[in-house]
Structure 1
Amino acid sequence: MNAHVDWHFPRRELTDQFLSTFASGVSNTLTLFAPRRMGKTEFILFDLIPEAHEQGYRPIYVSFWDNPRNPVTCLKKGLERSIGEMTWLERRRWANSHLGALKLGGEVGIDGTVKASAEVSGRNIPPQEDDLSQLRSRFETLLSGKMKTLLCLDEVQHLATDRAFEPLVFFLRTLLDENRDKLYVVYTGSSRDGLYRLFNRRKAPLFRSSSQIDLPELGSGFVKHMLDAFDQATARTLSYTSALNAFHTLNRVPRDFRAVIEGMVLSGETDITSATERYRQFTNDADEYEKIWSQLKPIEQAILAVIAQDIAGPYHEEARRFIATWLGMTESDVATHTIQNALNRLRGEFLAPVEKGVWVFEDLDFKIWVAEAFAKDPTER
């Protein structure tokens, strides 16, 4: 493979949006949301951090999946590597190696737990006073100079999974309040409910501390970029129309599309339609989803089916009729509190509220599986 091929698709407009927001003084904190595998970590490492460094920021990258049990250790590691002090070549090499580790090293499962390549055992470790004192001392040193600091906290919703982490969250909030003129923060998250619990609850330590931006979905420009890179790497040409169809077949998930392309580079084939179908079969989670589905209560299944098919909000009259038919009862028997209790059980693990009466799936793949498995007529399930 040609070592000079750049497979990364730059998101220049999004980078400009973040940095211009900071420069305007409108806000010193922003949150970037995207489901897993959509490219938010790659954006942070390959777009935002390098450009921020060029504009005079000292970037610090922290992933709370580095050590899910002990987020203080994650923060310490980020401070230690302080990648803004590296040369361009060193930063590029570090980002490449770290992104590769992220691909293999962790993801959030449908149950909201962190799945890591290394087995993690034991209880979550609450921050100790000495740990927080050390962090404060290190930050004070970094912030004592004239250089602005950009702190990127990846998968920050993990801090909302255990009350043991709250001292660290309070520490971060205080740090932000005391250094608004020098410290700029980008949070990223792949769980809407986790971010909601961290930022939107009135009693949350980071209450209303950040504005959220959804990572824009990639489209034809990304596909063309990947085809050009494939051509450079292999001297083989792929059909743009077939590639675009493949990208949509993969639900426009960049990580999956790139995996297909990488497989074709290694195998020497040029039929992207066949390669995509094999990839889908290989990564099919249908058996796991079927197992999860069978463990849900009928009312929970009905609500998930309603939301997956975008029938209506779960309290809407049309949704109540659907749920009633699903459960084999009359619409009047479907009480509001019954729906509410089921939503509370599904929240976080399967669903997240985005506004009053509006709910979304935490796992897009599971939503697609539910929508495809059950027709709008609940009697056909």
Structure 2
Amino acid sequence: MGISVDLPYFPRTGLLEDVAKVYSSGLKQGVTLFAPRRQGKTSFVKHELLPFARETLGWQTIYIDLWARRDAPDLALVEALEAELERQRSGWRRKLKLAKVKARAKTPGADLEATMVPVGFEAEDALENRLAHALAAVVDGKPTLLVLDEVQSLAGVKRENFVAAFRTAIQKLAGNLFVFYTGSSRDGLNQMFRVQRAPLFESAMSLLLPPLGTAFVDDRLAFLADRSRARVSRKALREAFVALGGTPEYLNELVLTLLIANDGNVPKALAAWQAARKEAGAHIALDGLRPLDHAVLALLAEPNHPSVYGADGLAFMSKRVPGQVVKTSSVQGAMRKLAKRGLVAPTGRTGDYEIEDPVLLLQLRAEAKTGK
């Protein structure tokens, strides 16, 4: 039996309308959409936002995934804009000028030594200058939607000047340039958007990604009914979606597992999905952690867990660290380490954190139930 892995896209009711209202208001030049990974941000962009901007509004659109080059996202942004300019101008990089010319000898017919650089640049132009030039040249008076996926990659002290330069560049293009930012790391996004001193604080409005609920589950159920003769329990599939943390990508993977098994057994498919995740390396992220680090994660995995810095939270962690009374200062150090590894992130509430990766959260909760 042939199986298609392209499950139908399920639209986010009302989100596109909200984005359009922000841009048409003239009050904000950007929209931010923050949610954990695998929740469907990129799917919304590719299936709804970009087609709407191109086909309904008649805008040119540019999509750049900064996560693909997270070791050098500033360079990735600049090079992607320059590549778009190259495409628009049919080889503008090949139109070179002689930036420096000097004779090697005074004799007639002496060879000339030249430094060749792209038109519009000076030799060794700073990255911020390249950004401003490329962005202005790409927009060139045309209504433009620039989508930056996983924009938190730009956060950090080392890139503060670059982000500030980016803010200046987009402000100069107000009225023609509209930016849509997606991100998944709260820590990085706070640095760029959510606090008043952040470089992009005033330029963008934050919108929430509407959660998918029972209608999404029923849509996947209809897909299964169309592709398989096996009967799947609506109740079981809804419960599985809850167990998967309401993560759309995980439910889609479970649906494909059911499609392959062709027996309608949701608990069996869920167990197979979890086993496949574990075999693929779900535990690797925990290698090298200390007992206190594990205790912190165990606390954060608890539903409605107490504060990590409160008396109840400290007592919870002390029970899991033999021979040690856990203190606030120790927990703060553990939090910094876990946040640096991308395992936890602040929720935005003072002193409150959560586990960043839904797969890890499910893994820890499963281990808590089995007593491992």
TM-score interval w.r.t. the shorter chain? 0.7 to 0.9
User: What is the correspondence of 1:275-286 to structure 2 with a 5 Å cutoff?
Assistant: 275-284=269-278
- Which runs of 5 or more structure 1 residues have no equivalent in the other structure? 86-127
Residue 329 (structure 2) aligns with: 337
Residue 17 (structure 2) aligns with: 16
* Alignment partners' CA distance in 1, 2:306 and 2:266: 37
* Alignment partners' CA distance in 2, 1:287 and 1:233: 31
CA contact (8 A) 1:223 1:243 kept: yes
CA contact (8 A) 1:31 1:212 kept: yes
Cα deviation for residue 41 of structure 1 reads: 0.6
* Alignment partners' CA distance in 2, 1:68 and 1:311: 32
Larger Rg: 2
Cα deviation for residue 157 of structure 1 reads: 1.2
Deviations 1:88-147 (A, max 9, x none): xxxxxxxxxxxxxxxxxxxxxxxxxxxxxxxxxxxxxxxx636544443332234332x4
CA contact (8 A) 1:61 1:78 kept: no
Cα deviation for residue 9 of structure 1 reads: 0.6
Residue 295 (structure 2) aligns with: 302
Look up the equivalent residue of 1:157 and give its one-letter code. Q
CA contact (8 A) 1:311 1:318 kept: no
Residue 61 (structure 1) aligns with: 63
Change (3 A) 1:260 1:143: same
Change (3 A) 1:209 1:325: farther
Cα deviation for residue 294 of structure 1 reads: 6.1
Question: Do residues 144 (structure 1) and 140 (structure 2) align?
Answer: yes
Question: Do residues 184 (structure 1) and 178 (structure 2) align?
Answer: yes
Residue 95 (structure 1) aligns with: none
* Alignment partners' CA distance in 1, 2:322 and 2:333: 19
Question: Do residues 153 (structure 1) and 148 (structure 2) align?
Answer: yes
CA contact (8 A) 1:299 1:323 kept: yes
Cα deviation for residue 228 of structure 1 reads: 2.7
Question: Do residues 364 (structure 1) and 344 (structure 2) align?
Answer: no
User: What is the correspondence of 1:82-121 to structure 2 with a 5 Å cutoff?
Assistant: none
Per the alignment, in what secondary structure is the counterpart of residue 360 of structure 1? strand
RMSD over equivalenced CA pairs, Å: 3.4
Residue 88 (structure 1) aligns with: none
Cα deviation for residue 58 of structure 1 reads: 2.5
Look up the equivalent residue of 1:307 and give its one-letter code. L
| Equivalent pairs, count | 328
Look up the equivalent residue of 2:345 and give its one-letter code. A
Q: Which one of 124, 129, 140 corresponds to residue 125 of structure 2?
A: 129
Cα deviation for residue 360 of structure 1 reads: 1.3
* Alignment partners' CA distance in 2, 1:243 and 1:372: 18
Per the alignment, in what secondary structure is the counterpart of residue 186 of structure 1? strand
Larger deviation: 222-231 or 208-217? 208-217
User: What is the correspondence of 1:154-233 to structure 2 with a 5 Å cutoff?
Assistant: 154-160=149-155, 163=158, 165-200=159-194, 205-207=199-201, 209-233=203-227
* Alignment partners' CA distance in 1, 2:263 and 2:290: 45
Task: Return the TM-score normalized by structure 2.
Answer: 0.74
Residue 80 (structure 2) aligns with: 77
Residue 42 (structure 2) aligns with: 41
Cα deviation for residue 182 of structure 1 reads: 2.4
Cα deviation for residue 323 of structure 1 reads: 3.0
* Alignment partners' CA distance in 2, 1:244 and 1:171: 47
- Which runs of 5 or more structure 2 residues have no equivalent in the other structure? 89-123
Deviations 1:150-171 (A, max 9, x none): 21100111122672x4454233
Look up the equivalent residue of 2:315 and give its one-letter code. R
Task: Return the TM-score normalized by structure 1.
Answer: 0.73
Per the alignment, in what secondary structure is the counterpart of residue 14 of structure 2? helix
Look up the equivalent residue of 2:68 and give its one-letter code. D
Look up the equivalent residue of 2:143 and give its one-letter code. K
Cα deviation for residue 60 of structure 1 reads: 1.4
* Alignment partners' CA distance in 2, 1:131 and 1:341: 35
Residue 352 (structure 1) aligns with: 345
Cα deviation for residue 188 of structure 1 reads: 0.9
Per the alignment, in what secondary structure is the counterpart of residue 355 of structure 1? coil
Per the alignment, in what secondary structure is the counterpart of residue 148 of structure 2? strand
Deviations 1:248-283 (A, max 9, x none): 233222112212323444555444443332122111
* Alignment partners' CA distance in 2, 1:336 and 1:239: 47
Per the alignment, in what secondary structure is the counterpart of residue 278 of structure 2? coil
* Alignment partners' CA distance in 1, 2:233 and 2:366: 28
Looking at secondary structure, tell me which structure has more helix per residue. Answer: 1
* Alignment partners' CA distance in 1, 2:256 and 2:18: 31
Change (3 A) 1:251 1:285: farther
Cα deviation for residue 208 of structure 1 reads: 5.4
Cα deviation for residue 328 of structure 1 reads: 5.2
Cα deviation for residue 12 of structure 1 reads: 3.4
Look up the equivalent residue of 1:274 and give its one-letter code. K
* Alignment partners' CA distance in 2, 1:24 and 1:256: 36
* Alignment partners' CA distance in 2, 1:170 and 1:198: 10
CA contact (8 A) 1:63 1:154 kept: yes
CA contact (8 A) 2:282 2:360 kept: no
